[in-house]
């Protein structure tokens, strides 16, 4: 900033106008009804409150909450009692600690009177009041650094935290035309420098620490270790690009050139050898080893540069990445497109007003503001021709949802508006200059989608997001019919309205499920769940669960007929089985017989007398099988006749008992070609037999028992349906 004498001279001489402005950029009053005396700083801390703090050169800091209706400017801190104010002196710098939301620390750069009436620069730390976040604790000051700063001008004054967490401090050369003491080149002084200190630590008796990467950290030449760069005249406003970390400074010229510098560690920016890219003292200089400005301009376009910011907001996409700066005297505002190693270009935007542009401000959203030194007003940088998305309804929905967007600067021709939800382009179905009706495009993932509108390549900035929800889907999984245990495996069918594959899972019941194939393992109730988890285009479907009943299986018993037995027959095995393979229970239902067990639990039936015997086979079923129908078998146990001829004539065995043979005499039998004679032992086993032909009234046959064991045997004669038997003894 030039001193007041310079301003008076310029007012008398006049200043040539700048080039034609680009009509699309201007300012609008940021805080209607509010003004701030001699504003020099506006800062928005990253504390999620959207508040901004405005510092006045005269010593007050005011806080404004733009989100409140009828926002007021509340005094946050008043330094007027300890400040040296006048000329270019006063409160010049304000910075908030990167962790301000937690620790409440903020930092000031101001001037005060020293013990010998000299002007001093003070860098100090303060703390916000715990009870009231809109007020500072007036007793919290901790002075970090002071140094003498002669004369009333060239104070610099800007402070800012770099992306490295260190505090950067801009300091002017101390004043006096042409830097008569060559302070800017004197590295034992802090004048005409960019300083860097670590405010998070204290070391070597200081209230701060020297970052180890500072170019003169630990030097033995007497150079100040706080120096990061030197050779500057009056760096009026410095800023940090939050995206790249680059440190920018606007350095006010002497009488010919204004310059913009990219600050490098250890860089010498040339003053007083050079002014901008031109030699100054001496007029023929050697620029070797100097860092030249990335841009400079002659003083016919302005005589006091006001450094600005690289624009990183959202509302002005056409300026994103450009360095926005201006001139305090002429009021011109430009946008510099910096091309490292290439050709940078400078674009005139508009004129802010003569002798007005004291500073640029930045809020937490990286939108830019211009501070009017003359009126105390603050204007926000805007583009009145760029579409503005203010709101829309509904605020969320699926693809295909119709949304009405309210805003400004739209085209009344639908096709001339390009509306995007995230990276997808919506269909505009109706349009006015303040309203657009659009259809949400397909292909959006669930979540917030930034809504922007563009007309003639001018795209709105917006923090408005549409909550994209994915379309729903349903599962078709029909009710399942009942089944019977023992059925073959079967396949289930379930589909989704989205055509995405459906997964089946067994919830409960006697079955196994492999893929979509069910295998029954018992009777009971089986439940199967069908699900579809969704994907990038569909929400998960509501699960569908179907249950079905598995009925018990029927079974039958196989129980063969039992041949008639003799009362003298040995116990014999019975065999019965069920189609289910379950064990069959046998019981004597009636008659002269006894049921027991043989080897291996085999059922054995022992005749106990003559007469009919009925044995019943049953299977009661279980959890998976119904009871089987009982099966009963009846047979006859016959008695054995004595050794005499039976009462029925026609059958006799003699001698009886015998030793080797006996004769069987049959009398009165009907002719039969194959009558059977069989001899059974006491175990019911046939031990010998023969066939005889009955031709006459009497037939005889000899039966050999030679070698037979002693005991009684049963002789049985059978001819057709006639059977007779007699006990025979063998001695």
Q: How many CB atoms lie within 10 A of CB 86?
A: 13
Please tell me the predicted confidence (pLDDT) of residue 1.
52
Distance CA 79, CA 136 (A): 11
The DSSP 8-state label assigned to residue 488 in this structure reads P
Distance CA 501, CA 494 (A): 9
pLDDT digits (tens, 9 = 90+) for 132-165: 999 999 999 999 999 999 888 999 999 999 999 9
Whether the predicted pLDDT of 84 surpasses 70? yes
Distance CA 214, CA 223 (A): 11
pLDDT digits (tens, 9 = 90+) for 453-510: 999 888 887 678 999 998 899 999 999 999 999 999 999 999 999 999 999 999 999 9
pLDDT digits (tens, 9 = 90+) for 94-110: 999 999 999 999 999 99
DSSP-assigned beta bridge partners for residue 248: 239, 262
Q: What is the pTM assigned to this prediction?
A: 0.65
pLDDT digits (tens, 9 = 90+) for 679-711: 988 777 889 999 998 887 888 899 999 999 988
The DSSP 8-state label assigned to residue 600 in this structure reads G
- Assess whether the region 388-468 and the region 557-638 belong to the same CATH fold: yes
Please tell me the predicted confidence (pLDDT) of residue 643.
36
Please tell me the predicted confidence (pLDDT) of residue 3.
47
CA atoms within 13 A on the CB side of 173: 26
The domain defined by 651-730 carries CATH number 3.40.640.10: no
- Class of 557-638 per CATH? mainly beta
Highest mean pLDDT among 7-16, 164-173, 400-409, 446-455: 164-173
671: which 2 tokens?
Answer: 């002719």
Q: Among residues 727, 714, 639, which one has the least CA distance to residue 683?
A: 714
Please tell me the predicted confidence (pLDDT) of residue 66.
76
> Picking from 173-177, 197-201, 221-225, which range would have the lowest pLDDT averaged per residue?
173-177
Higher pLDDT, residue 188 or 648:
188
The per-residue DSSP string of 314-332 comes to SS-GGGTT-EEEEETTT-E
Distance CA 271, CA 285 (A): 11
User: How far from the centroid of its chain's Cα atoms is residue 234's Cα?
Assistant: 51
In three-state secondary structure terms, 402 is strand
User: How far from the centroid of its chain's Cα atoms is residue 649's Cα?
Assistant: 106
- Span 477-551: which CATH code? 2.60.40
- Please report where in the chains the tokens 């509904």 appear, as a residue: 394
DSSP E strand boundaries for 516-660 = 517-520, 524-531, 544-551, 557-558, 565-566, 572-573, 577-578, 585-590, 593-597, 603-607, 611-619, 628-638, 651-654
Distance CA 97, CA 125 (A): 9
For 297-314, give one letter per residue: b (16+ CB within 10 A) or e.
bebebbbbbbbbbbbbbb
Distance CA 440, CA 437 (A): 10
Please tell me the predicted confidence (pLDDT) of residue 261.
99
Higher pLDDT, residue 88 or 72:
88
Domain boundaries, the chain: 1-30+299-384, 388-468, 477-551, 557-638, 651-730
Contact between residue 604 and residue 571 where contact means Cβ atoms under 8 Å apart: yes
- Please report where in the chains the tokens 């129980």 appear, as a residue: 559
Distance CA 411, CA 618 (A): 92
The domain defined by 388-468 carries CATH number 1.20.120.50: no
Please tell me the predicted confidence (pLDDT) of residue 640.
61
238: which 2 tokens?
Answer: 């410095």
């Amino acid at each position: 900033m030039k001193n007041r004498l310079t301003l008076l001279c310029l007012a008398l001489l006049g200043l040539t106008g700048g080039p034609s402005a680009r009509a699309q950029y201007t300012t609008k009053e940021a805080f209607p009804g509010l003004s701030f005396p001699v504003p020099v700083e506006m800062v928005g801390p990253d504390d999620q409150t959207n508040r901004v703090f405005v510092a006045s050169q005269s010593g007050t800091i005011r806080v404004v909450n733009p989100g409140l209706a009828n926002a007021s400017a509340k005094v946050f801190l008043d330094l007027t009692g300890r400040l040296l104010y006048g000329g270019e002196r006063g409160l010049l710098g304000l910075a908030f600690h990167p962790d301000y939301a937690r620790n409440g620390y903020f930092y000031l750069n101001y001037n005060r009177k020293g013990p010998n009436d000299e002007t001093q620069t003070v860098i100090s730390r303060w703390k916000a009041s715990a009870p009231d976040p809109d007020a500072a604790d007036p007793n919290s000051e901790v002075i970090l650094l002071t140094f003498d700063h002669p004369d009333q001008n060239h104070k610099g004054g800007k402070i800012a935290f770099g992306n490295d967490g260190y505090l950067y401090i801009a300091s002017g050369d101390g004043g006096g035309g042409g830097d008569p003491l060559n302070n800017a080149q004197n590295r034992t002084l802090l004048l005409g420098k960019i300083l860097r200190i670590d405010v998070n630590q204290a070391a070597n008796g200081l209230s701060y620490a020297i970052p180890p990467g500072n170019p003169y950290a630990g030097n033995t030449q007497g150079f100040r270790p706080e120096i990061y760069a030197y050779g500057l005249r009056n760096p009026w406003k410095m800023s940090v690009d939050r995206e790249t970390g680059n440190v920018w400074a606007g350095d006010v010229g002497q009488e010919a050139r204004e310059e913009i510098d990219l600050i490098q560690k250890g860089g010498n920016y040339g003053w007083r050898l050079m002014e901008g890219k031109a030699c100054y003292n001496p007029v023929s200089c050697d620029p070797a080893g100097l860092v030249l400005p990335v841009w400079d301009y002659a003083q016919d376009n302005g005589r006091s540069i006001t450094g600005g910011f690289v624009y990183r907001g959202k509302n002005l996409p056409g300026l994103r990445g450009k360095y926005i700066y201006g001139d305090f005297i002429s009021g011109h505002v430009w946008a510099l497109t910096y091309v490292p190693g290439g050709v940078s270009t400078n674009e005139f935007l508009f004129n802010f007003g003569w002798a007005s542009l004291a500073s640029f401000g930045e809020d937490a959203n990286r939108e830019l503001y211009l501070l009017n030194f003359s009126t105390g007003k603050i204007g926000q940088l805007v583009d009145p021709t760029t579409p503005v998305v203010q709101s829309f309804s509904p605020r969320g929905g699926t693809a295909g949802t119709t949304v009405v967007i309210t805003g400004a600067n739209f085209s009344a021709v639908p096709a001339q508006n390009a509306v995007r939800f995230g990276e997808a382009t919506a269909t505009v179905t109706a349009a006015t200059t303040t309203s657009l009706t659009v259809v949400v495009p397909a292909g959006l993932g669930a979540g917030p989608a930034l809504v922007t509108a563009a007309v003639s390549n001018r795209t709105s900035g917006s923090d408005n997001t549409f909550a994209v929800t994915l379309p729903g889907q349903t599962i078709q999984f029909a009710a399942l019919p009942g089944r019977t245990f023992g059925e073959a495996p079967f396949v289930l069918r379930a589909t989704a309205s989205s055509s995405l594959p459906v997964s089946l899972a067994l919830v409960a019941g006697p079955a196994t499920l492999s893929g979509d194939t069910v295998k029954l393992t018992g009777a009971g109730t089986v439940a199967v769940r069908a699900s579809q988890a969704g994907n990038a285009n569909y929400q998960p479907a509501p699960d569908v669960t179907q249950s079905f009943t598995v009925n018990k299986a029927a079974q039958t018993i196989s129980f063969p007929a039992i041949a008639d037995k003799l009362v003298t027959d040995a116990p014999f095995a019975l065999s019965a089985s069920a189609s289910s393979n379950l064990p069959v229970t046998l019981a004597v239902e009636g008659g002269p017989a006894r049921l027991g067990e043989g080897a291996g639990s085999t059922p054995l039936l022992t005749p106990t007398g003559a007469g009919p015997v009925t044995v019943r086979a049953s299977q009661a079923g279980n959890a998976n099988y119904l009871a089987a129908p009982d099966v009963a078998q009846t047979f006859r146990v016959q008695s054995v006749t004595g050794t005499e001829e039976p009462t029925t004539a026609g059958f006799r065995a003699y001698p009886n008992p015998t030793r080797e043979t006996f004769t069987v005499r049959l009398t009165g039998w009907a002719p039969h070609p194959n009558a059977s004679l069989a001899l059974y032992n006491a175990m019911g086993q046939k031990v010998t037999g023969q066939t005889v032909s009955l031709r006459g009234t009497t037939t005889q046959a000899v039966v050999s028992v030679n070698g037979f064991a002693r005991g009684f045997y049963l002789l049985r004669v059978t001819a057709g349906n006639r059977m007779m038997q007699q006990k025979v003894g063998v001695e």
